[in-house]
């Protein structure tokens, strides 16, 4: 079976021109502009099946956007092999275009001075859509994303959230098999983000679309996707399902104690006090060292409790921990070499 997306040893190196510093810098740049090679993507390989929803998560500069651009045909790689829906993106760009949809959070594909509905009609013409099919599909999408009221104002007058919903509808109008979303929720407020995440997931599930989402927001990852690929420094650090990630990395729990006494002391290994406030103590517990029930019992012995909560750390922390470990490893390697 062919996969929706196949990537083998994909690499991308950028040549960055450095501006010389110091005196006479401008003059010097006339004949000597030192170049630096930046490895944005370093031999990544992966397979994505049709219908999967995958999140590419990583800090800024990790290589996520670069990878998406290579998959959608905007950038061509330095080396490696890529097949998207059976096509080589940068060579068969126009054929691939009919089968993929893209949303770039920081770039719009809507004509800003026109109402969204005009853009949709134009895209229907660009993608050679049959008018009846287009109209039906458009009706469904406009309802689902609730943009009916905004269709007739120029796009630049819409709020960011409204605009992003229009962008996503625009990308789905030609019923693409694969959808690339590059930072779709960037700059949006919490409720707008939640709406978009749910809509995207629902659309993808209903039509069996393959979704590749990049973000540095782990909420996107959790709500939309089932599989997470953590990228850092151009390499894949982790490629797991969300559940496996949670299970594998959550060895800490956050415990909040509210006490009658102003403070409480717990001398237990693996328990770290994160915050102290009058009548409130926040703890971080490494459950590999000290199981939760031991902590609870120690708390009950140590004082009178008004309230006690035990929570998983936010996924953000999990991912930060993964990056931190990767950076530490990288530094070790540097020292060793």
Partner 1 sequence: MRHRWFGRLLATNLAASFALRTAFWLQAALMALNNLMFFCFWWVLFTRFEEIRGWAVGDVAVLFGVAAAGYGATAVLFGGMHDLARQIDDGELDPLLTQPKSVLLQAIASRTRPDGWGDIVSGLVLVGISGRVDATTIVLLPLAIVLSATVYASAIVALHCTAFWFGRTHASIRTLSDMLLTFSVYPPHLFGGAMKVLFFTIVPAAFVSHLPVAIVREFSWPTLGLALLGAVAYGGIALFAFHRGLRRYESGNRFGVRG
Considering the complex, what minimum distance in angstroms separates the CB of residue 190 from partner 1?
27
What DSSP state is assigned to residue 32? -
Element (H, E) at 211: strand 210-215
Considering the complex, what minimum distance in angstroms separates the CB of residue 78 from partner 1?
9
Q: How far apart are the first and last CA of the chain?
A: 42
The Cα–Cα gap between 165 and 192 comes to 9
Q: Tokens 């019992």 identify what position?
A: 297
Tokens of 223: 């709500």
Strand, helix or coil for residue 246: helix
Considering the complex, what minimum distance in angstroms separates the CB of residue 204 from partner 1?
18
Nearer to partner 1, 123 or 236 (CB): 123
Considering the complex, what minimum distance in angstroms separates the CB of residue 63 from partner 1?
8
Element (H, E) at 164: helix 160-172
The Cα–Cα gap between 283 and 286 comes to 10
Nearer to partner 1, 126 or 332 (CB): 126
Considering the complex, what minimum distance in angstroms separates the CB of residue 102 from partner 1?
4
Nearer to partner 1, 152 or 275 (CB): 152
Nearer to partner 1, 134 or 249 (CB): 134
Tokens of 250: 């959550």
Nearer to partner 1, 50 or 111 (CB): 111
The Cα–Cα gap between 275 and 283 comes to 7
Considering the complex, what minimum distance in angstroms separates the CB of residue 174 from partner 1?
9
The Cα–Cα gap between 266 and 262 comes to 14
Question: Which residues, 6 or more positions from 70, have their beta carbon under 8 angstroms from its beta carbon?
Answer: 10, 12, 41, 76, 77, 82, 89, 90
Report the length, in residues, of the chain. 337
Nearer to partner 1, 60 or 337 (CB): 60
Q: Which residues bind partner 1 (CB under 8 A)?
A: 12, 14-17, 38, 40, 61, 63, 65-66, 69, 72-76, 90, 93-95, 97-98, 100, 102, 104, 107-109, 111, 113-114, 118, 121-123, 125-128
The Cα–Cα gap between 315 and 317 comes to 5
Nearer to partner 1, 118 or 317 (CB): 118
Nearer to partner 1, 48 or 123 (CB): 123
Considering the complex, what minimum distance in angstroms separates the CB of residue 19 from partner 1?
9
The Cα–Cα gap between 86 and 92 comes to 10
Q: Tokens 């990537």 identify what position?
A: 7
Q: What is the CA radius of gyration of the chain?
A: 25
Considering the complex, what minimum distance in angstroms separates the CB of residue 101 from partner 1?
8
């Amino acid at each position: 079976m062919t996969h929706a997306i196949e990537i083998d040893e994909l690499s991308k190196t950028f040549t960055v021109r450095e501006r010389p510093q110091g005196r006479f810098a401008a003059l010097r740049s006339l004949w000597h502009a030192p170049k630096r090679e930046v490895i944005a993507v370093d031999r990544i390989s992966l397979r994505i099946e049709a219908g999967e929803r995958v999140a590419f998560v990583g800090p800024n500069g990790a290589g996520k956007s670069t990878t998406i651009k290579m998959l959608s045909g905007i950038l061509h790689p330095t080396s490696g092999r890529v097949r998207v829906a059976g096509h080589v993106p940068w060579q068969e760009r126009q054929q691939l275009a009919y089968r993929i949809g893209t949303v770039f959070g920081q770039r719009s594909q809507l004509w800003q001075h026109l109402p969204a509905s005009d853009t949709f009609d134009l895209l229907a013409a660009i993608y050679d859509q049959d008018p009846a099919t287009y109209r039906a599909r458009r009706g469904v999408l406009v309802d689902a994303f609730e943009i009916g009221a905004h269709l007739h104002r120029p796009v630049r007058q819409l709020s960011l959230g409204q605009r992003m919903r229009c962008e996503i509808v625009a990308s789905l109008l030609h019923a693409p098999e694969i959808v690339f979303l590059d930072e779709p929720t960037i700059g949006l407020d919490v409720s707008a983000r939640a709406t978009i995440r749910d809509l995207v997931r629902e659309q993808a599930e209903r039509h069996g679309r393959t979704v590749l989402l990049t973000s540095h927001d782990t909420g996107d990852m959790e709500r939309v996707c089932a599989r997470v690929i953590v990228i850092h420094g151009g390499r894949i650090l982790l490629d797991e399902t969300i559940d496996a990630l949670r299970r594998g990395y959550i060895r800490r729990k956050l415990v909040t104690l509210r006490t009658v006494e102003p403070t409480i002391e717990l001398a237990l290994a693996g328990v770290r006090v994160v915050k102290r406030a009058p009548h409130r103590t926040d703890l971080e517990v490494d459950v590999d060292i000290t199981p939760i029930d031991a902590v609870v019992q120690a708390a009950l012995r140590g004082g009178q409790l008004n309230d006690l909560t035990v929570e998983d750390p936010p996924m953000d922390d999990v991912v930060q921990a993964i990056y931190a470990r990767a950076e530490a490893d990288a530094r070790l390697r540097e020292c060793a070499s």
